[in-house]
Amino acid sequence: MIGHVLGGRYEIMDRIGGGGMALVYKGHDILLNRKVAVKVLRQQYVHDEEFIRRFRREAQAAASLSHPNVVSIYDVGQEEEVHYIVMEYVEGKTLNEVIKERAPMQVEDAIRIASQICDALDHAHHNQIIHRDIKPHNILMGKNGRVKVTDFGIARAADSSQITQTGSVVGSVHYFSPEHAKGTSTGAKSDIYSLGIVLYQMLTARLPFSGESPISVALKHLQENVEEPRKVNPLIPQSVENMILKSMRKNQDERYQSAREMLKDLETCLLPERRNEPKIVFASDAEDQERTRVLPALKGDAAGKPSASAMGSRSGDPDAPEKKKRLWLKPSIWGLVIVLFLLGMWYAVGVVRGLIEVPETEIPNVVNMNVKDAQKLIEDNQLKSKVITQPNKDVAKDIVFAQNPEPMRVKVNNEVVLYVSLGTEKPKMPDWSGKSFNEIINTELVKLGIAASQVTKELEVFGVEEPGTVLKQVPAPNEEYDPKTVAIKLTISKGREQFSMPNLSGMTETEASSAVVLLDLKPLIERAPTYKQQKGKVFDQFPFKFNDLVSKGQEIKIFVSNGYPPEAKERTVSRPISPAVKGKESTIRIVYSDARGDNIEWASRKITDTQTFDVVLVLSPEKDGTIQYFVDGARIDLQTVPYNDKATGSPSPTPTPTPTPTKTPGGSASPTPTPTPKPSTTPTPSPTGTGGH
């Protein structure tokens, strides 16, 4: 059975238990994607119609229960000769395993478990279902502490003759009630008796009755008194012992009258005012049923002589012969009474037999009939029908192609299983998720016999998949379809959504990270010394530069300045500048080049008299600094500041030729500049001037 899928839905994964009539497997419900327990009828019973009928009937009765302490029944089915019940799967152990590990258990734990079992029994009894096999093996302990009662009603499917079958009833005879052991009818009080034994075992780590054979144990249930629990475990409170003794009374009238009554006792037995209550006394124990009875003495005179009437019968009483003639009357009356009694018994047996005996009927042959006509014919013969539909390419839809049982005489109300054709089995739609749309059009459709015109692109959306990849489909995978009429709709990926990368240079680390995260990109921060930016400012980004196309979810490295490299040198250059005409306003402009970049604008000022301006340069071993001074658009000087110049004041003046003024775009004259790279757009710290600003 391992690996088999029952009913096209329940995959058998592992065997987890078994009993006298069924095996239990752990399964997986493929449709609802959940774990289940699957109980399968043993192979030796699959041809026993009476057994199968009871198996289904009792499973349906158990399925009618809905209670948190009862294992739920999900489904009942048949596949060929396999009859199965699908139940709730409980992760944990059986109470039998817990007792072996922990008994004798703490009183509080045992009462908590018994209360949940009793609550489940109360629910079942109100639904007219008697368990008849309450024992630790049928109590499941979930990992969350929830107690679940299983196998409701299934014990009814086993005949009383099975008490001799090894392994089928031996495990249960220790929990039999006296009426169960006698073979008489059992009811709700029988379940209460069995629960009392379970509670006894939890608290004492032993069974109340044991023997060498099931028969000997059953006789002890009938004849022997149970050893008081407190003699085995003195830690048991008197209130709990009273409850166990009351639930295990051999006389049903002295037990709890219902599971609800016992549950109320369980809820209060550990209250402080009840723990040391008086020991319970039963009326049948107080009255000695077997005491000696004193018979009255014969009457006579004071000397003990016989009475006169007695003497008269011996001394020739004239009425004696007549009395002897009437001696036949009493036996005749008794004989007549016995004959009448036997006639009455014979009549009663006939009446009872007529009530019990189930009439028989004939199962008709309904193969090749329409399913509705077949069901009506079966109902007309006082039978029940169950329909199982299956694909069959040789039989038209809704036609019965097999039945179970075949035509024969059976009891009325029996069930006939009808196997009805669904017609030719339709193919199932393959799963195209992740495949290329072009591959499906050019290859897959040809294999399936579907025309390309039956396929449409329902939607194209952005996704992480390559452009043209199928994301969703209608019909869904494994859904049946007709190749001639099916209309297929595919959702196609457009690939990743792309956008232009912003320029992060000059931003702080926080500003750059926030800008990247808002675009659904993943920032990776790296720090390094640089001449390009001040400490804490972004000086580069990789692999996506400014205006490069980038997709959401991609990573980008952000390079943050640690400051200037250790070999960098700062030089402050001071220079006095006068207006072109003394006393008149002139525009002063200063442009410098150093390790940070070329032709960087320092500032533009208006002056009317001579002022001194300080320009701070950052020099590197590979690049000296230069400063250009302009007055009203004409360059008046070009100073070079070498890296190895140790002077702290103004650098040594560099003789420069007088530049030839040229017209600037703004209309002012300026010398023709040497071609330089485009000025950096990154803001740099402005040097300060000591003159007027």
Catalytic residues: 133
For residues 87 and 140, what is the distance between their CA atoms, to the nearest angstrom? Answer: 13
Helix (H, G, I), strand (E, B) or coil at 606: strand
Structure tokens at 162: 């099975």
Helix (H, G, I), strand (E, B) or coil at 450: coil
Nearest to 148 by CA among 66, 76, 213: 66
Nearest to 151 by CA among 130, 165, 173, 127: 130
Q: Is the peptide bond before 405 cis (omega within 30 degrees of 0)?
A: yes
CA angle (403, 404, 406) in 5-degree steps: 80
Instruction: Give the dihedral sign, CA 187/193/197/198.
Output: positive
Would you say how long the chain is, in residues?
Answer: 693
Structure tokens at 148: 């679940």
Measured from the Cβ of residue 107, the count of other Cβ atoms closer than 10 Å reads 19
> Residue 628 carries which side chain, given as an amino acid letter?
Q
Phi/psi at 421 (5° precision): -75, 140
- Name the region of 640 (left: φ>0; alpha: ψ -120 to 50; beta: rest): beta
State the first-to-last Cα distance of the chain, in angstroms, to the nearest integer. Answer: 95
Q: Which residues contact 230 (CB under 8 A, 6 or more apart)?
A: 236, 238, 241
**Element (DSSP H or E) covering residue 329:** helix 329-356
Structure tokens at 561: 């300045």
CB 691 within 8 A of CB 679: no
For residues 85 and 75, what is the distance between their CA atoms, to the nearest angstrom? Answer: 6
CB 575 within 8 A of CB 621: no
Q: Is the peptide bond before 237 cis (omega within 30 degrees of 0)?
A: no
For residues 624 and 628, what is the distance between their CA atoms, to the nearest angstrom? Answer: 14
Q: Strands 634-641 and 661-663, how do they pair?
A: unpaired
CA angle (207, 212, 218) in 5-degree steps: 65
